[in-house]
A = this chain, B = another copy of it.
Amino acid sequence: MTNTASEGQPERKRGSGARVVYESLRDEILDLSLAPGSPIDEVQLAERFSMSRTPIREALVRLAGEGLVETLPNRSTMVSNIDFLNLHTFFDAITLMYRVTTRLAAQNHVVTDLDIIRGHQAEFAAAVAAQDALAMIATNRAFHAAIAEAGRNPYYTALFLRLLDEGRRLLRLYYQSFQDQLPREFVDEHEAMIAAIAERDLDRSDRLARAHADQIVRQIQQFLARDTRQDIAL
């Protein structure tokens, strides 16, 4: 059956072709649906989205600009690998962004910002309670994105979002490891950060953000360094 494309297609609008492909591929890469290192075939994508190669290529160029795919000249583009050897630079950068955005949020937020932040925090708490790993990742990102927005510095916000997205692949690995016993601390830490921001306590916001980042980094590092060898008597 190959005629599925010819009938039920919802008639995409004119300028939306590349965006749909971009967002779809982006989600699949960050959710590890597309494995790091796997090649990407343009004609295959063109068939799948039932459109020409032109918008596909535009989406790939955008993804390459964000480092999510790597394109070798005259050869197939592939999903970027996770650079485990240089993870410490990633942790260093994202820790700094946690701190800076939270500090700036304490300084520059307006009241409506707090409502938005609290809303995302409620959704995050619900996701933790429901033990929904994917929802936890999404709502956690939204929570910190809202804090960064309240900080009112687009440069920090953009870098932070990029780092959070790149970390999404790590978090996906991480959360998969313990779907049952979920980190309740994160919810409490978020609450403390909200309180510090609301009181416009810059230094406390900074400290809490740093502790939060350290907590996450430590957990992921423990996960990566875990020893799964079984103690078998020989």
Chain B residues in 8 Å Cβ range of A154: 86, 89
Q: Which residue of B lies closest to A163 (CB)?
A: B155
List the interface of chain A (C-beta within 8 A of B). 14-15, 54, 57-58, 61-62, 65-66, 73-74, 86, 89-90, 92-93, 96, 100, 152-156, 159, 163
Most chain B CB within 10 A, of A14, A90, A152, A155, is at A155
Bound Cα distance from A61 to B54, whole angstroms? 12
**B73 near A15: Cβ-Cβ < 8 Å:** yes
Assembly CA distance A93 to B156 (angstroms)? 7
Nearest Cβ in chain B — how far from A109, in angstroms? 15
Q: A58-B61, A65-B66 are in contact. Are A153 and B73 (CB under 8 A)?
A: no
Q: List 16 A-B contacts (CB under 8 A).
A: A14-B74, A15-B73, A15-B74, A54-B54, A57-B58, A58-B58, A61-B61, A61-B62, A61-B65, A62-B65, A65-B65, A65-B66, A89-B152, A89-B155, A90-B155, A92-B153
Query: How distant is the Cα of A196 from the Cα of B89 in the complex, in angstroms?
Result: 22
Nearest-CB distance from A184 to chain B (Å)? 30
Chain B contacts of A92 at CB under 8 A? 153
Nearest-neighbour CB distance to chain B for A88, whole angstroms, equals 9
* Chain B hits for A58, CB < 8 A: 57-58, 61
- Give Cα A36 to B74, complex, Å: 34
Whether A153 and B93, one on each chain, are in contact in the complex, defined by CB atoms closer than 8 angstroms, is yes
CA distance A169 to B14 in the complex (A): 34
CA distance A52 to B148 in the complex (A): 41
Chain B contacts for A163, CB-based, 8 A: 155
Given A58-B58, A93-B155, A155-B159: 6 more A-B contacts, CB < 8 Å: A14-B74, A54-B54, A65-B66, A89-B153, A93-B156, A155-B163
Residues of chain B with a CB closer than 8 A to A57's CB: 58
Bound together, the chains give a CA A92 to CA B96 distance in angstroms of: 14
CB distance from A68 to the nearest CB of B (A): 12
**Residues of the B chain whose Cβ atoms lie less than 8 Å from the Cβ of A86:** 154
Complex CA distance for A14 and B74, rounded to whole angstroms: 8
